[in-house]
Amino acid sequence: MSAPIRPQPGILDIALYQGGQSAIAGHADPLKLSSNENPFGPSPAALAAMLGALADSHRYPSTDHASLRAAIAGVHGLDPDRIICGTGSDEVIHLLCQAYAGPGLEVMHTEHGFAMYRISALAAGATPVEVPERDRVVDVDAILDRAGPDTRLVFVANPANPTGTLLPMDQIIRLADGLPETCIFVLDGAYAEFAEGYDGGAALVAARDNVVMMRTFSKAYGLGGLRVGYGYAPRPIIDVLNRIRGPFNLSGIALAGAEAAVQDTAWVAECLRVNATERARLTGGLRQLGIACDDSAANFILARFTDEAQALAADTHLKARGIIVRHPRNYGFPQALRITVGRAQDNSRVLDALADFMGAT
C-alpha cells in the first residue's frame, strides 16, 4: 500500500476561522453589529472609483501597487517604498510567518489575540505561543518573560480585538526595547484610526529595523468586502515579503477603491467623529444597565455579563429583536458580547433591547 498523503505538520492543528454571523432566521434585514464594519460604508469617492475601474476588468492590475502606496504615503506621511499591500492585513500576517517563521521557531501572541496569528504560524510549521493578558490589556512583562532565542515574531494588536483596550506608547516602546534582536515586533493597527492621537506605530517603524506596522481598509474605510490592507516595515523586510507575495494579489477594483478611500480624508474624519460620540454613549448606556465594559479605543465594545449563561441569553434576546452581535467564546470571553458601534439609531436599538433584557433578569 502506498503511504497516506499528509499535509505539512501543523496544518491539521488549525481550527477554521469563524467570522461574525450575518443572518438571523425570520429577519430579512437584521442589524449586523458582529464584524466591526463601518456602518456608513465606503465613501462616495471610493464607490465612484470602483465603478470606474469596472470597465478595465479585462486588464491585469498593477503588480507593484505604486499608485495606492503613494496615496497611503501621502496621507500618512510614510515612505512608499516601505509599504506592502495585501489582501487585507491577513495576507501580511501570513507573509510574515511564511518568510520568518518555520519549524523549531516560535510566533508569539496574546491570549485574546486575533485568530490569524495562530493560524498563520501553524501554516508555516512554527509553534504558536500564547501569553496571558492582564485585565484584558496586553501584558508587556509577560511577553518579555517568555520571549527567547527561538521567538521570531511577536504580534500585538493595538487597539486590541476583541477587548478594545489600548496599550500606551511608552509601554509599546518598552516592549520593542526588550525583545531579542532576532525577533520582529508586529503592531497590528487594524483599529488604529479609531484611537485619537495614535499613529499605529509608524514612528517606531521609522526608527527601528525590526518593527512592522499593519493597517487595513476593512474597518474605518468601510472596504471589508474588497480585502485590502498594508504593512509598513523596514525596506529589507519589505523586499523579502515582496518576493513571496502573489504578483496580482489585489484586483484593479480593490486598488482603485482603496486609493480613493484613503484620500477622502473628510469622509473618514466624519466616520471617526460619529464613532467616538456613539462609542461613549453606548459605553455609558451599558454601564448604566449594570453591564461591565472597558473604555474602548476601537469601533466596538466588549460587554461583559455575569457569566456565559447570561451572555448567551442576552445574545438570544438581541437576535429576537433582529440584532446580531458577536459572542467571542473562541477568543476567551464566553461571558461577553462584542458589539460594533453603529449609527445612532442602531445603538439606541441595542440599548433598548438590553434594557428590556436586564429588567427581566
pLDDT tens-digit readout, 44-55: 999 999 999 999
pLDDT of residue 1: 55
Would you say 339 and 300 are in contact if contact means Cβ atoms under 8 Å apart?
yes
pLDDT over 90 at 269, yes or no? yes
**DSSP string over 24-39:** BTTBSS-EE-SS---T
Residue 205 pLDDT class (50, 70, 90 cuts): very high
Q: What is residue 85's DSSP assignment?
A: E
Distance of CA 21 to the CA centre of its chain: 17
Residue 67 pLDDT class (50, 70, 90 cuts): very high
Over range 207-211, report the average pLDDT: 95
pTM for the model stands at: 0.93
pLDDT of residue 361: 61
Mean pLDDT of the chain: 95
Q: Which residues are CB-contacts of 352 (< 8 A; sequence separation ≥ 6)?
A: none
Residue 2 pLDDT class (50, 70, 90 cuts): low
Count the neighbouring beta carbons within 10 Å of the beta carbon of residue 81. 11
pLDDT over 60 at 183, yes or no? yes
Decide the pairing of beta strands 336-340 and 323-324. unpaired
Residue 335's Cβ-side half-sphere holds a number of Cα atoms within 13 Å equal to 7
Q: Which residues are CB-contacts of 215 (< 8 A; sequence separation ≥ 6)?
A: 89, 189, 190, 192, 200, 229, 230, 231, 232
In the chain, the DSSP E strands lie at: 31-32, 83-86, 106-110, 127-131, 151-157, 184-188, 211-216, 229-232, 300-304, 323-324, 336-340
pLDDT of residue 186: 98
Residue 6 pLDDT class (50, 70, 90 cuts): confident
**Residue 82 to residue 133: CA distance in whole angstroms:** 31
* Plot region of 41 (φ>0 → left; ψ -120 to 50 → alpha; else → beta): left
The tens digit of pLDDT for each residue in 301-348 reads 999 999 999 999 999 999 999 999 999 999 999 999 999 999 999 999
Exposure of 77 by Cβ count < 10 A (0-12 exposed, 13-18 middle, 19+ buried)? exposed
Residue 360 pLDDT class (50, 70, 90 cuts): low
The tens digit of pLDDT for each residue in 158-181 reads 999 999 999 999 999 999 999 999
* Plot region of 168 (φ>0 → left; ψ -120 to 50 → alpha; else → beta): beta
**Residue 316 to residue 337: CA distance in whole angstroms:** 11
Single out the residue of 159, 172, 240 nearest to residue 208, CA to CA: 172
Over range 230-259, report the average pLDDT: 97
- Residue type at position 328: P
Residue 3 pLDDT class (50, 70, 90 cuts): low
End-to-end CA, the chain: 62
pLDDT of residue 9: 81
Percentage of the chain exceeding pLDDT 90 = 91
Would you say 90 and 123 are in contact if contact means Cβ atoms under 8 Å apart?
no
In 144-237, the DSSP E strands lie at: 151-157, 184-188, 211-216, 229-232
